[in-house]
Amino acid sequence: MLSRIAIKRCFSQTTINPYKVSVLGACGGIGQPLSLLLKLNPKVTSLNLYDLKNAKGVATDLSHIPTNSTVKGFSADEADGLHNALKDSDLVVIPAGVPRKPGMTRDDLFNINAGIVYDLAKATAEAAPNACVLIISNPVNSTVPIVAEVFKKLGKYNPKKLFGVTTLDSIRSARFLSELTNTDPTQNKRISIIGGHSGVTILPLLSQDELASTKLSKEQKDALIHRIQFGGDEVVKAKNGAGSATLSMAQAGSKFADAVLKGLAGEENVIEPTFIDSPILKDEGIDFFAQLVKLGPEGVKEILPIGNLSKEELELLENCKDALKKNIKKGTDFVDNKHL
């Protein structure tokens, strides 16, 4: 006969962990497919969708999918909609904001998206201060510092629980490398990418990848680095005014959210790249940096070393520092100039 405790232990090992996830900006190009993928994730048992409008419609649609989660929609026009969406969330994903059009840089989105992210960060710090917060809205190099500053001002900042989502750069690297080497993209390791999430601040470390470093010519390596750095522009150009990456981003966001939930659930060796509060270049005034982290029950469990860089990669790192520093400062200054 099994004791009650043994039965409970067996039960909890075989069942899913109940996590409550909120998506802010859930009805947009990224928000909808991302919410679909989260609805399919067995770790998510409660899914709250928030947007300026139409969140109830999208939520009702998703709620008919027979997976083990309830879906609720909350809109800006209902009293306390945002706070009710966020309340008690374990994980908050933020893809709210405008996307690029051809000819724009991510930094050109700052004027609109900074204010959107600021408001959502304030509400998150108030209603879900212990949640892991995943920032997708661009420019990530500035929006993550905005969220950090808001949380700091409200006395709720936990650097282990704030993540800029840079997963799309790393999934692109696996796909682009497979095209060059005629290999299976599902089997390739993703290339380690450090720095930030725009143009030259995206720094793929090809020298650390066996396939890339041994099979590619110098020209191919340079072309691959450029393609990873400007992969977003490829999509913006092809969509020709109708936005930027949404479906690949939804897959990337879902993958990263799943990794964070795995970490919260105590799974071992969950490693992903992300833009986080990192000590690595703090003495040079760069408070946030993208690199691999190990995820755990408290969010970031360990920030992993970036490893050895080739001479060319060290030069690229030098070149990206200025832009990264400016992007980060722009975000922190934005909040410093506001009265919370």
Which residues of this chain interact with ligand NAI, rule CB under 6 A?
A: 24-25, 27-31, 50-52, 95-100, 109, 113, 116, 119-120, 136-138, 140, 165, 168, 197, 243-246, 249
In this chain, which stretch among 120-128, 143-151, 229-237, 265-273 interacts with ligand OAA, using CB under 6 A?
229-237
95 interface partner picked from ligand NAI, ligand OAA, none, CB below 5 to 8 A per type: ligand NAI
Of 9 and 53, the one with the shorter C-beta distance to ligand NAI is 53
Q: What share of the chain is helix, strand, coil (3-state, %, to 5)?
A: 50, 15, 35
Report the C-alpha gap between 313 and 316 in whole angstroms.
Answer: 5
Of the candidate spans 16-24, 66-74, 115-123, 232-240, the one that interacts with ligand OAA by CB under 6 A turns out to be: 232-240
Residue 235 site contact among ligand NAI, ligand OAA, none (CB < 5 to 8 Å, cut-off depends on kind): ligand OAA
Whole-angstrom Cα distance, residue 127 to residue 143?
A: 19
Q: Which residue is nearest to ligand OAA (CB)?
A: 232
Binding map of ligand OAA across residues 137-176, x = CB under 6 A, - = no contact: -x-----------------------------x--------
Q: Reduced to 3 states, what is the DSSP secondary structure of residue 289?
A: strand
Longest dimension (CA), the chain: 69
Q: Out of 64, 197, 226, 339, pick the active-site residue.
A: 197
Name the binder of 236 from ligand OAA, ligand NAI, none, CB < 5-8 A by kind.
ligand OAA
Strand partners, 24: 50
Q: How far apart are CA 176 and CA 29, in angstroms?
A: 23
Residue number of the CB atom closest to ligand NAI? 28
Please give the structure tokens belonging to residue 39.
């609805």
Site for ligand OAA in 80-139 (CB under 6 A): 99-100, 106, 138
Q: Which does 30 bind (CB under 5 to 8 A by kind): ligand NAI, ligand OAA, none?
A: ligand NAI
How far apart are CB 108 and ligand NAI at their closest, in Å?
10
User: Distance between CA 28 and CA 64 in Å, rounded?
Assistant: 20
Task: Supply φ then ψ for residue 203, to 5 degrees.
Answer: -120, 95
CA distances to 43, 63, 74, 220 from 60, in Å: 20, 5, 11, 47
229 is an interface residue for ligand OAA by CB under 6 A: no
Give the C-alpha separation, 41 to 95, whole Å.
18
In the complex, the smallest distance separating the C-beta of residue 168 from ligand OAA, rounded to whole angstroms, is: 5
The secondary structure of 86-138 as a DSSP string is HTT-SEEEE--SPPP-TT--GGGGHHHHHHHHHHHHHHHHHH-TTSEEEE-SS
In the complex, the residues that contact ligand OAA under the rule CB under 6 A are: 99-100, 106, 138, 168, 232, 235-236, 244-245
**Catalytic residue annotation:** 197
